[in-house]
Chain A
Amino acid sequence: MTSSDENEKPAIFDIHDMTVAYDRRPVLWNIDLTLRNAGLVAIVGPNGAGKSTMIRAAMGLVPMVSGSVSAWGSAIDGQLRRIGYVPQRGSVDWDFPISVFETVLMGTYGSLGWFRRPGRVQRDLTMQCLERVGMQDYAKRQIGQLSGGQQQRVFLARALAQQAELYFMDEPMAGVDAATERVVFELLQSLSDEGRTIVVVHHDLRTVTEYFDEVVLLNVRIVASGPVDTTFTSANLQATYGGRLSILDTMAEAVQKQEETE
């Protein structure tokens, strides 16, 4: 058995036949997706394509009509402690009475289990994660007193504190300034270098070729998925975004640039 190693090894993440519907209107249809390699994976597609829904359904936050999701070969419900999550920034109340430090500390709760309080180990880890996103000086601030980019970094630090092997991030680049975007990408790159898999719902088509290893083109169904070099093509983008030619015009440039470099 050991000889046929690579193909027998269970995929890091696998969605089989997922269908999700809101009020009987399908928002995701027959999704099959398998991730076998560590690295940065972008999920792109037009608004309403179901990008966020796909990762939310995979983690059990949205009910599926049908399908199954597994991680490392077993049902995902039992693997949640190995998975990190960065939700959209708008999903919480930023006026909540909680500091930056306490928010990031929440990332360690999963490893603590019921009743146990975070101790020195968790606090040190929290501080390290804050340093990694450059927010250590803001540890005591109430989270509402941060700019949008800083709030996003706090969410990233919280995900780092989860010490996960697989990450799902829902538009971590939405509404952030250029400085934060750079910090975020450097961080994602270093997570990827450490052998983790990071799945990012991504808005900005122009940065896909620059930062990501694999891409999933989604529009209710999966149009294409695979390495950016072979998958992120004009034809596939055309199929994903349909007749919205103005986007494709801006994209043509990006694709061309990519093809020139090869």
Chain B
Amino acid sequence: MFFSQTLIVLTGTLLLGIASGMVGTFAVLRRRALAGDVVAHAALPGLCLAFLAFHSRSIIVLLTGALLSGLLGAISVSLLKRFTRLRDDAVQGIVLSVFYGGGIALTRSIQNHYRDEPGADLESFIIGHAATMMQGDVAQIAVVVAVTASIVVLLFKELKLLSFDEQFCQVQGWSATGLDILLMVLTAVTVVVGLPAVGVVLTAALLIIPPAAARFWTDRLSIMMMIACAIGGVSGVTGTLLSAHFDGLPTGPLIVLTSTAFFILSWIFAPHRGLLWKSREVTDLEMYLPWVEAGDDVPHPSTNSGPPIATQEVP
């Protein structure tokens, strides 16, 4: 074969890291970081039902089932939010655990009933099994990366506007709901193609950690996204190599641990936003302060210039 197995897996995890960096950047900035986690967990029962319905081990069939139930999970979250008065986190927690619980029950019972059938080992989707990735899987991830990248490039202006100020997006006549759904579908697709490699439990980490680390380095959205893709891709590759080196250690967790290392390094060392820089800034400021004129021109992110003169608040 042209590709050695390691090379296939490396390509797959690299591309996966890049795709996650793109959609993850929007997810993190829009405070929707956990939406990917909901989709991932909600995908499990759909995967099992697809297997039961078609008895196919074809990854396309399984992932279509996973995508549908993942999206169903995401829709359940928005419906529950609308019709109960529960907050985001509670609703997400409920949907995530109910779907995941159902999925675990189904995987176990499939394993018991179809012991001899090939592909019945659906439990491998729970923490993922990158080592068995095949050329077809990598091709799928490549398609997802290509489609996501083209949409992000074409609609960068619109997605940036939506992420920064959804209301302003809407009053300018853009369909905020349409763009929202588009981002949700892109996230769900990325999560689902990542399931075989990284697994239900850890896919969300790939969406969240690289963008969170990237935010430390820049104040520009486009650069943040590129850094997130780079950290995602490098973490994918490093995790895979580590897993190949230490026989038997699963790839998914190693990828997550690697990206966490990047996160910690960014948090400590990044200019302006990093811990080291901040401690330096405090001492600088002490020297600087006596020369600063108090007033409008002193920039400070957390201080507002006091409450307005609110005559109607007098009791």
Task: Please list the residues of chain A having a beta carbon within 8 angstroms of any beta carbon in chain B.
Answer: 45-47, 56, 59-61, 77, 80-81, 83, 85, 87, 91-99, 103, 106, 109-110, 112, 114-118, 141-142, 144-150, 158, 162, 171, 173-177, 179-180, 203-206, 241, 244, 246-247, 250-251
Given A47-B313, A61-B171, A177–B305 Cβ distance below 8 Å?
yes
Q: Give the residues in chain A near B167, CB-CB below 8 Å.
A: 56, 61, 85, 87, 91
Residue from A91, A98, A106, A146 in contact with B299 in the complex, judged by beta carbons closer than 8 Å: A146
Q: Give the residues in chain B near A251, CB-CB below 8 Å.
A: 311
Q: What are 25 residue pairs bridging A and B, where the CB atoms are less than 8 Å apart in the complex?
A: A47-B313, A60-B170, A61-B170, A83-B171, A85-B168, A91-B165, A92-B164, A92-B165, A93-B29, A94-B301, A99-B220, A106-B160, A106-B161, A106-B168, A117-B157, A146-B299, A147-B298, A148-B303, A149-B305, A150-B296, A175-B304, A175-B306, A177-B296, A204-B309, A204-B311
CB distance from B53 to the nearest CB of A (A): 39
Q: Is B118 an interface residue (CB 8 A)?
A: no
Q: Give the residues in chain B near A174, CB-CB below 8 Å.
A: 308
Q: Compute how far the CA of A87 lies from the CA of B307 in the bound complex, rounded to whole angstroms.
A: 17
Q: Give the residues in chain A near B155, CB-CB below 8 Å.
A: 114-115
Q: Compute how far the CA of A158 lies from the CA of B168 in the bound complex, rounded to whole angstroms.
A: 10
Residue from A95, A115, A150, A241 in contact with B312 in the complex, judged by beta carbons closer than 8 Å: A241
**Interface mask (B28-46 → A, CB under 8 Å = 1, otherwise 0):** 0101000000000000000
* In the complex, residue of chain B having the shortest beta-carbon distance to the beta carbon of A59: B171
Instruction: Report whether A180 and B296 are in contact in the complex, using a CB–CB cutoff of 8 Å.
Output: yes
Q: Compute how far the CA of A114 lies from the CA of B296 in the bound complex, rounded to whole angstroms.
A: 37
CB distance from B43 to the nearest CB of A (A): 29
**Interface mask (B140-160 → A, CB under 8 Å = 1, otherwise 0):** 000000000000001101101
CB distance from B217 to the nearest CB of A (A): 10
Q: Is B314 an interface residue (CB 8 A)?
A: yes
Q: Is B315 an interface residue (CB 8 A)?
A: yes
Instruction: Report whether B315 and A147 are in contact in the complex, using a CB–CB cutoff of 8 Å.
Output: no
**Interface mask (B207-243 → A, CB under 8 Å = 1, otherwise 0):** 0000000010011110010000000000000000000
Given A60-B171, A144-B301, A175–B308 Cβ distance below 8 Å?
yes
- Beyond A117-B157, A118-B157, 6 extra complex contacts between A and B, CB < 8 Å: A59-B171, A81-B173, A83-B171, A97-B224, A115-B154, A147-B300
Q: Give the residues in chain A near B312, CB-CB below 8 Å.
A: 45-47, 203, 205, 241, 244, 247
CB distance from A249 to the nearest CB of B (A): 9
Q: Compute how far the CA of A109 lies from the CA of B29 in the bound complex, rounded to whole angstroms.
A: 20
Instruction: Report whether B224 and A179 are in contact in the complex, using a CB–CB cutoff of 8 Å.
Output: no
Q: Give the residues in chain A near B251, CB-CB below 8 Å.
A: none
Residue from B173, B224, B296 in contact with A149 in the complex, judged by beta carbons closer than 8 Å: B296
Q: Give the residues in chain B near A146, CB-CB below 8 Å.
A: 299
* In the complex, residue of chain A having the shortest beta-carbon distance to the beta carbon of B85: A23
Q: Is B279 an interface residue (CB 8 A)?
A: no
Q: Give the residues in chain B near A171, CB-CB below 8 Å.
A: 308
Instruction: Report whether A97 and B221 are in contact in the complex, using a CB–CB cutoff of 8 Å.
Output: yes
Q: Is B310 an interface residue (CB 8 A)?
A: yes
Q: Compute how far the CA of A76 lies from the CA of B298 in the bound complex, rounded to whole angstroms.
A: 41
Q: Compute how far the CA of A61 lies from the CA of B177 in the bound complex, rounded to whole angstroms.
A: 12
Q: Which 3 residue pairs across A and B have the least CB separation, nearest first?
A: A110-B172, A148-B304, A142-B219
Instruction: Report whether A99 and B300 are in contact in the complex, using a CB–CB cutoff of 8 Å.
Output: no
Q: Compute how far the CA of A114 lies from the CA of B303 in the bound complex, rounded to whole angstroms.
A: 37
Interface centre among A103, A114, A118 (most CB of B within 10 A): A114
CB distance from A23 to the nearest CB of B (A): 8
